[in-house]
């Protein structure tokens, strides 16, 4: 995965939950985690994000539980007056073992975005949440900035 993008894909569902595979790359770093989510929560987030960055300064959504089995978080924010935005992506995965309780895979990275990429992502995310199936892609631009937690 060498593209600058975030992908959310439904990989499993039942009558209560969907399981999402979240994969992201900023051109240098990449990660994947799988988290459980409720489609109504995802749909609510898609509506909150719709129109960003023109109607809000920040929008955040997370799935799973931090420092637990799996976690995924997106923090959207404005970057100056240019209209460009950023999304800070945080991923965690792997249950600690009895021998290494602190062991866990963690990654944090930033994608730089144009507002139209967020519009396209919202459309795909709404469809994914309503159908509980499919893929939503958020395409980034430019160079990476990244921190491993």
**What pTM, to 2 d.p., does this model score?**
0.90
The rounded distance, in Å, linking the Cα atoms of 54 and 99 is 49
Q: Of 148 and 12, which is predicted with more confidence?
A: 12
The rounded distance, in Å, linking the Cα atoms of 102 and 96 is 6
95-143 tens-digit pLDDT: 666 776 677 889 999 999 999 999 999 999 999 999 999 999 999 996 5
Query: The domain containing residue 132 runs over which residues?
Result: 4-147
HSE toward the beta carbon, residue 48, CA cutoff 13 A: 15
CB atoms within 10 A of CB 29: 18
The rounded distance, in Å, linking the Cα atoms of 142 and 127 is 27
DSSP class of 138: E
DSSP class of 82: G
**Domain total for the chain?**
1
* 2 pLDDT tier (thresholds 50, 70, 90): low
The rounded distance, in Å, linking the Cα atoms of 82 and 53 is 11
């Amino acid at each position: 995965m060498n593209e600058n993008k975030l992908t959310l894909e439904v990989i499993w569902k039942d009558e209560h939950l969907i399981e999402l595979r979240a994969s992201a790359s900023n051109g240098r770093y990449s990660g994947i985690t799988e988290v459980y989510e409720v489609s109504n929560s995802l749909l609510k987030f898609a509506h909150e994000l719709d129109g960003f960055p023109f109607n809000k300064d920040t929008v955040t959504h997370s799935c799973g539980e931090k420092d637990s089995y799996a976690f995924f978080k997106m923090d959207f924010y404005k970057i100056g007056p240019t209209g460009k935005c950023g999304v800070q992506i945080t991923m965690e995965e792997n249950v600690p073992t009895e021998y290494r309780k602190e062991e866990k895979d963690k990654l944090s990275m930033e994608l730089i975005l144009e507002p139209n990429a967020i519009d396209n992502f919202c459309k795909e995310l709404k469809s994914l949440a309503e159908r509980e199936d499919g893929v939503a892609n958020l395409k980034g631009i430019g160079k990476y900035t990244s921190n491993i937690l």
